[in-house]
């Protein structure tokens, strides 16, 4: 053993010991890699529609450490007074509408409140429904046992608001389904809670009963490695805001589509590849 050396001014020889800082790799495993930046999907004189990456909040988080999309508004369009007119959960990717100026913000706020904006999401869920379409109607309110979380009620309750979501089955797999979702209201965590309430939790959404997407649950011949913890095929929940349709300030219809992000596309390919196999063991 020849002791420690500096890699930038010495050559490695047999027997040298290289000391590497493990913090960066640990951070990568924890998902703290450099995140993607928003991309512009559509732009008009009064609106900007961006594709929000997963992991980025729409507005500053509670700690104040992550300003999210809000902190990038001036960078996106320095000459425009961009304003966020609706929100996506931190780990939901896809279409986010920004208004240009106060007048446009008031217009889009009214469009959302009057439920004239058409939003379509896609989600991979655990479970295979026998029906093709279903409307989920319930009242959503705060979960008193879990601050920041939401629960559904079949009846009106104090502090709860009505919520409606149309659910369409796009594809059925061995133990999963790909769903199209059209919320006609915009309540916090609405889609996540509605799908949990009908027994179809979103894959990766562990806050609302979703399981991790593991290859061992998809592949019948999967062999676990002794002493090695299996890593999930997806590091977040499978929920993506794929399309938004709205009337602009000038009355013209605007349609914006956000392509499925690579992490979701890769996970879905695994599910499709092993669709004929079924694993039932618990995590």
Task: Tell me the CA distances in angstroms from 145 to 141, 188, 191, 208, one per residue in order.
Answer: 12, 17, 20, 13
Which residue in 21, 81, 89, 250 is the catalytic one? Answer: 89
Residue whose pair of structure tokens reads 């001036």 in the numeric block: 74
What CA–CA distance (Å, rounded) separates 194 from 209? Answer: 12
Does residue 89 carry a catalytic annotation?
Answer: yes
The two tokens of residue 103 are: 């007048």
The residue among 49, 56, 111 whose CA lies nearest residue 84 is 49
E strands, 6-117, are 39-43, 47-52, 82-84, 93-100
Q: Which residues neighbour 145 within 8 Å (Cβ) at sequence distance 6 or greater?
A: none
Residues marked active site are found at 89
């Amino acid at each position: 053993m020849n002791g420690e050396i500096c890699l930038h001014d010495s050559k490695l020889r047999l027997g040298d010991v290289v000391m590497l800082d493990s913090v960066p790799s640990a951070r990568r495993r924890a998902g703290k890699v450099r995140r993607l930046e928003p991309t512009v999907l559509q732009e008009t004189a009064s609106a900007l529609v961006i594709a929000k990456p997963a992991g980025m909040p729409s507005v500053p988080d509670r700690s104040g450490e992550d300003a999210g999309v809000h902190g990038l508004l001036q960078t996106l369009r320095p000459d425009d007074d961009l304003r966020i007119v609706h929100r996506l959960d931190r780990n939901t990717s896809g279409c986010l509408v920004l208004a240009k100026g106060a007048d446009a913000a008031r217009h889009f706020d009214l469009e959302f409140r009057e439920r004239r904006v058409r939003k379509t999401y896609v989600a991979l869920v655990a479970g295979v429904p026998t029906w093709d379409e279903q409307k989920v109607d319930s009242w959503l309110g705060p979960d008193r046992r879990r601050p920041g979380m939401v629960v559904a009620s079949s009846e009106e309750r104090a502090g709860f608001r009505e919520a409606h979501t149309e659910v369409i089955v796009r594809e059925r797999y061995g133990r999963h389904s790909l769903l199209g979702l059209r919320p006609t209201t915009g309540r916090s965590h609405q889609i996540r809670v509605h799908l949990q309430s009908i027994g179809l939790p979103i894959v990766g959404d562990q806050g609302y009963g979703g399981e991790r997407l593991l290859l061992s649950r998809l592949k019948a011949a999967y062999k676990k490695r002794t002493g090695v913890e299996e890593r999930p095929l997806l590091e977040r929940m499978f929920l993506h805001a794929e399309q938004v349709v709205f009337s602009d300030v000038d009355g013209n219809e605007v349609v914006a589509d956000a392509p499925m992000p690579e992490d979701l596309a890769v996970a879905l390919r695994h599910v499709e590849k092993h669709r004929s196999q079924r694993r039932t063991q618990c995590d």
